[in-house]
Amino acid sequence: MAALDSMSLDFIRQTARKLGIGRRLQRLRTYFAVSPLLRLQIMLAQRRYLGAVFEMPAIPCGEGPLEVHMLLHSRRFREGAWACYSLLRHTGPGTRLVIHDDGSLQPWQLGRLRSLFPGFVHISRERADREVGQALEERGLVKCASLRRGLVFALKLFDAVFYAKNERIIIMDSDVLFFTRPEALLRGGCCYSPDNNDQCYCLSTAKMRALLGMEPVYRFNPGVFAVSPGKIDWQQHEAWLGEEGFGVVKGRPSYFAELTLWAMEVSLQGGVPLTPGYEICAPDPSQPGVVFGHYCGGGYWASRLYTHAIPWVYQVLTHSAERVSPHGVFPRAESQPPAA
């Protein structure tokens, strides 16, 4: 009976994943977490500011010692452009910017990105599937290849390492924004932005400690981090992926598999959390010491990317007389955040 129950539960889970029930429920949760007035505020802010990044002076890219990688989806190409611009404006021309296409970017979107970042490297999904997929298969890394096929976030892991040219690379998401020069990030060494949630690893701390032979980093977040790609051993990842918690053995990779692998890798490289100022759910960008914001998770705090963060950077870049208040660009329409 217990085996039957387990089989029935697995069947239900597989069916739910195929139907996308989890994703739809998450979208509903995010939708209802935002009030109608805040949705209006987001829409107006997006209309006013999102496309404005392509009106900014171009930042030429190149083959310099600073290397930045981003996995990008077509629906977030403008947010991704803002994220890259907010960093590259502090690093100057010559940064090697590598954008990994998840397979959805359209030619006109790539054209806009090339006009803003001339010389950036575009890695198409077709090219990456062929080259990275072949490299994994030739090395007999069956579980690594399975993870890459089954979890789009795994492209951040395998593809960024495969196409890296420098000894140190920065990897960042499209929902981040830099407000001042990120000295701690640019200084060197392995570092990461800490999360505000300690439930994001797909393995227990005890299991990670046993596999690593050391204490894993605490609350790793993949919004922005820096690693040495030459130190990464895919054979070791292949062995780790044999753990049931990753879900690869059963053909159902955990949503947090890539994040957990990065946390383990950052641990081995002696990664340190970035200094205060690199925030999940960042406060008002104008406050002293606020360097960076990661606007993830949906709901009120994610909406601040559009209502606070991008308008603030736009104002700085254009020396606009328009004032972005701590309550956003449309303060009358804003909902209050949920109580802590």
Asked if the structure places residue 33 within a domain, the reply is yes
Q: Are residues 198 and 225 in the same domain?
A: yes
Determine the pLDDT at residue 335.
40
- Judge whether 288 lies within some domain: no
Q: Same structural domain for residues 89 and 51?
A: no
State the average pLDDT over residues 59-64.
95
User: What integer pLDDT is reported at residue 333 of this predicted model?
Assistant: 37
**Per-residue pLDDT, 286:** 85
Say whether pLDDT at 300 is over 50: yes
* Same domain flag for 153 and 170: yes
CA separation for the pair 91, 302 (Å, rounded): 26
Q: Are residues 118 and 261 in the same domain?
A: yes
Let me know whether 76 and 193 are in one domain.
Answer: yes
- Model confidence at 108, pLDDT cuts 50, 70, 90, reads very high
| Residues 119 and 172 placed together within one structural domain of the fold | yes
Counting the structural domains of the chain, the total is 2
Check: CB of residue 168 under 8 Å from CB of residue 227.
yes
Quick check: 12 pLDDT over 90?
no
Q: Are residue 151 and residue 77 in the same domain, yes or no?
A: yes
Q: Are residues 259 and 331 in the same domain?
A: no
Claim to verify: residue 133 and residue 73 sit in the same structural domain? yes
Q: Give the model confidence (pLDDT) of 151-195 as tens digits.
A: 999 999 999 999 999 999 999 999 999 999 999 999 999 999 988
In a domain, 119, yes or no: yes
The proportion of the chain whose per-residue pLDDT surpasses 70, expressed as a percent, equals: 84
User: What does each C-alpha distance from 184 to 193, 236, 317 come to in angstroms?
Assistant: 11, 29, 22
In this predicted structure, the answer to whether residue 29 has a pLDDT above a threshold of 60 is no
- pLDDT surpassing 60 at residue 337: no
158, part of any domain:
yes
Neighbours of 304 (CB within 10 A): 25
Give the integer Cα–Cα distance in Å for 208 and 212: 6
Q: Reply yes or no on whether the pLDDT at 32 is more than 70.
A: no
Q: Whole domain around residue 165: which residue ranges?
A: 57-278
pLDDT in tens, 197-227: 777 899 999 999 999 999 999 999 999 999 9
> Picking from 51-60, 83-92, 258-267, 294-303, which range would have the lowest pLDDT averaged per residue?
294-303
Q: pTM (2 decimals)?
A: 0.85
| pLDDT surpassing 70 at residue 31 | no
Which pLDDT does position 336 carry in this prediction? 40
Q: What does pLDDT average to over the chain?
A: 87
DSSP string, 65-90: S-EEEEEE-GGGHHHHHHHHHHHHHH
Residue 8 lies in a domain: no
In a domain, 7, yes or no: no
Tell me: do 51 and 68 sit in the same domain. no
Provide mean pLDDT across the span 48-70: 96
d(CA 145, CA 21): 26
